């Protein structure tokens, strides 16, 4: 019975992912864009989203590939007597906002929860899944982030101390919204936000997910970003065109991250084939932060059509080496110093064979845009604290 159920889920998932015999038509590459939460949190307004769309275009981020403008929590108002959800005063006309974002050549994303309430206590989609999906489609929404938050209370009430039943309830709730999206006939990227519970990477595709959070929330500190990035080791086999592991949004440009730390963050997420959803204040973009976010070679690694997520091939103390194959036969290799020593790395092998390369391959330093010529396994690099080297290796 379970095998039949999974087969049926797989079949109805096809319209959201791919056409027979073709590459996936939605999220064939990790989604790129901007999300309101990291900077605005609950204060986001229609004006903020319009300004974000304008700045994504004027800053060059759109040309670099960022095309989703995603509204997070706190846009929701109340339901009327027919159960139709209305926006609150911060978002007076969602259809007009979507039209504005679309006029910029961008796409609009929105947020909800399978529970009665969202994380911030606003209206969720519980028992209104099809009604809400139809509403999003009528507005022209292109992306849905679906956050478990408000559904956890129901899980605890209906299945206290029964983890297996709670996990099944969670899967069913996500599948229910997936089916509702499919019935609208409008393609929407479907993003599961449930913090990696129940090894979501193993079943996310079965409920129609294009991406799924693998961890708890990020924050704008090097320590948290590094912890989350390093925790992705072992998940590469679950990422592929159409569905991606999501270690949460980018904090590049937020907090007190240095240039080296921003590069580690962006480089690690690119190596992981992660969705690249910026979360900074676009009105305060500096040339330094813009250069990190729009580096074409780094983005090309993230967006590589082969869709192979990097794996960690070496670790010793704070030093880690990660590698991933690329569609043209080249390899991306990243070296990270997650520690506090300013002169770490001398004498450590690059482990080229583990990366799928060999001595004599040509190396290009992505961040400095310098050709390094033939590289050898014993080529020496010295990394400052919280710094990295990102190489593209080719025959």
Catalytic residues: 147, 217
Q: Which structure tokens are listed for 140?
A: 């022209």
Parallel, antiparallel, or unpaired: how do β-strands 331-337 and 311-316 relate? unpaired
Q: What are the residues whose beta carbons fall under 8 Å from the beta carbon of 227, sequence distance 6 or more?
A: none
CB 71 within 8 A of CB 36: yes
From CA 87, how far away is CA 105, in angstroms rounded? 24
Residue given tokens 């986001």 in the structure block: 44
How many Cβ atoms are within 10 Å of 355's Cβ, its own excluded? 25
Using DSSP, state whether 147 is helix, strand or coil. strand
- Under 8 Å CB-to-CB from 164, ≥6 apart: which residues? none
| 112 close to 120: Cβ distance less than 8 angstroms | no
Nearest CA-CA partner of 71 in 91, 86, 92, 56 = 91
């Amino acid at each position: 019975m379970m095998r039949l159920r999974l087969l049926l889920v797989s079949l109805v998932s096809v319209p959201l992912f791919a056409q027979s015999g073709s590459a996936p038509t939605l999220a064939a590459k990790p989604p790129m864009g901007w999300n309101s939460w990291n900077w605005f949190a609950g204060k986001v307004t229609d004006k903020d989203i319009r300004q974000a769309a304008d700045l994504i275009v004027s800053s060059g981020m759109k040309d670099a590939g960022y095309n989703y403008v995603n509204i997070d929590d706190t846009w929701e108002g109340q339901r009327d007597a027919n159960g139709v959800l209305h926006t609150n005063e911060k978002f007076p006309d969602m259809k007009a906002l979507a039209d504005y974002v679309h006029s910029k050549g961008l796409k609009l994303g929105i947020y909800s929860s399978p529970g009665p309430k969202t994380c911030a206590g606003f209206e969720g989609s519980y028992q209104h899944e099809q009604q809400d999906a139809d509403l999003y489609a009528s507005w022209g929404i292109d992306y849905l982030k679906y956050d478990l938050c408000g559904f956890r209370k129901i899980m605890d009430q209906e299945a206290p101390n029964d983890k297996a039943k709670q996990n099944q309830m969670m899967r069913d709730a996500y599948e229910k919204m997936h089916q509702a999206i499919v019935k609208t006939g409008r393609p929407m990227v479907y993003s599961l936000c449930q913090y990696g519970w129940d090894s979501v990477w193993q079943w996310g595709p079965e409920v129609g997910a294009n991406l799924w959070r693998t961890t708890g929330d990020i924050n704008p500190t090097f320590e948290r970003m590094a912890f989350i990035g390093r925790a992705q080791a072992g998940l590469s086999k679950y990422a592929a065109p159409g569905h991606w592991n999501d270690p949460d949004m980018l904090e590049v440009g937020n907090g007190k991250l240095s240039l080296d730390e921003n590069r580690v963050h962006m480089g690690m997420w690119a190596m992981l084939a992660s969705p690249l959803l910026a979360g900074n204040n676009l009105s305060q973009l500096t040339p330094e932060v813009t250069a990190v976010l729009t580096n074409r070679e780094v983005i090309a690694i993230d967006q590589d059509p082969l869709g192979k997520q990097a794996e960690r091939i070496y670790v010793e103390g704070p030093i880690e080496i990660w590698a991933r194959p690329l569609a043209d036969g080249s390899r991306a290799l990243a070296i990270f110093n997650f520690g506090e020593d300013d002169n770490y790395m001398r004498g450590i092998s690059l482990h080229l064979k583990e990366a799928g390369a060999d001595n004599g391959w040509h190396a290009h330093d992505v961040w400095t845009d310098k050709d390094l010529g033939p590289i050898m396994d014993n080529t020496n690099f010295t990394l400052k604290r919280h710094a990295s080297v990102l190489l593209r290796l080719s025959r």
